[in-house]
Structure 1
């Protein structure tokens, strides 16, 4: 698998390059958006990792130009922007996934593997389970056709559970997906977040769709009984 990494933070670029090569990927590196676009137009990459804020051409512009030019590989955006509208902008312009800085390298590698796995199997964009509907690209969540307003972290929790429906997710997996490399977050943050989400989305007549797997983590409940 061949990967292009575009990042103007040279220290971070070096670290990503090292970790990817350690996992036996072929890696090319670019230090700005224009250089990344030049590489991508002459080489074939399975995945391109783009920093959002780069000199000469930002990651969004590179992403948009690549998709218009017919690039069909994976694109992972790295960004310090955590506003939902910024995330939507990146996804709407062709990114497959995003990772908010700062992050753990283990999380980056997991995102890389996930994108490469689904390269030939597009991510399901509308996921319906029981009376709930999650729209991945639009970043909206509904119960019985009624939209439920969610914060960024609340949506990230539900998105991760819905995309991985049928699987038990460990506390560490969920924690890393939502907070990444943020050591200031307390150990109780996940439990508090789950409690808030349950309060918003549960109908009160059935067990919560978010099922606690004692000693491991969480999963989506298979049925409403």
Structure 2
């Protein structure tokens, strides 16, 4: 593999580049966001190891700019942060995987090999299901022309449902994808947030998009929602 290592800490950059070369790979190093963008856009890399905390544009911004320029080289993001919102943000701006420091080089190499096998995958910048639209990178959502304000957790839940419209997700699957902490499987947390979502993306517009599948879980209608019957 030809790997671009983007890391401003000299010791870490040296460790990564030496380890990659000892494994038989070619490794170049960039030490700030501007160097990273220039190298990524000019060179042909199989994978990019991108640290979040960088001088100049940070790792999130570097990745977002790469994707905006239609550069879909697989990105493994390194972060010292373990918080879910940071990891979600990295994936939303176009990263393919993340690894939290400290980590073992053997795991890093294994993840890079997996990304290399996958190769560049072009990503749709927007998710569209009927008149529901969601922009993962900008963290914005709309029903038609009306923008909808969502909390971080509501946004992640909606994105999960919109990426596989028509697919039934169990409550356990949604807990696993949208929450980091292990919750009691008897918790009604998913039901609560589905209700929050319905109050924002459905009821104000007189439609029903999130269906309850009895004994199974929830799914998003493939048409983005049909008009709810009127009463009276």
TM-score, normalisation: structure 2:
0.56
189-198 or 132-141: bigger deviation: 132-141
- Corresponding position of 1:96: 95
Alignment of 1:83-162 (within 5 A): 87=89, 91=93, 95-97=94-96, 119-120=120-121, 122-162=122-162
| 1:131 positional shift | 3.1
SS of corresponding position for 2:208: coil
SS of corresponding position for 1:211: strand
Query: After superposition, what is the alpha-carbon deviation per residue over 1:55-107, rounded to whole angstroms, capped at 9, x for unaligned?
Result: 9x9644775897799964122435436668x938982xxx33576979xxxxx
- Whole-angstrom distance in 2 between the partners of 1:33 and 1:144: 42
Note closer, same or farther for the CA distance 1:195–1:136 as it changes in structure 2 (3 Å cut): same
Query: After superposition, what is the alpha-carbon deviation per residue over 1:143-199, rounded to whole angstroms, capped at 9, x for unaligned?
Result: 23111100111111111111222323333332222223x136773222211111111
| 1:49 positional shift | 4.9
- Corresponding position of 1:177: 177
- Whole-angstrom distance in 1 between the partners of 2:49 and 2:90: 17
What is the count of residue pairs matched by the alignment? 198
| 1:208 positional shift | 2.5
Note closer, same or farther for the CA distance 1:51–1:215 as it changes in structure 2 (3 Å cut): farther
Structure 2: gaps (5+ residues): 13-22, 102-109, 228-232
- Corresponding position of 1:16: none
RMSD of Structure 2 on Structure 1 (CA):
5.3
> CA contact under 8 A between 1:126 and 1:135: conserved in structure 2?
yes
> CA contact under 8 A between 1:74 and 1:116: conserved in structure 2?
no
| 1:202 positional shift | 1.0
**Larger Cα-atom Rg:** 2
TM-score, normalisation: structure 1:
0.57
Note closer, same or farther for the CA distance 1:124–1:59 as it changes in structure 2 (3 Å cut): closer
- Corresponding position of 2:164: 164
Structure 1: gaps (5+ residues): 11-25, 103-108
> CA contact under 8 A between 1:5 and 1:27: conserved in structure 2?
no
- Corresponding position of 2:219: 219
SS of corresponding position for 1:212: strand
Note closer, same or farther for the CA distance 1:63–1:208 as it changes in structure 2 (3 Å cut): closer
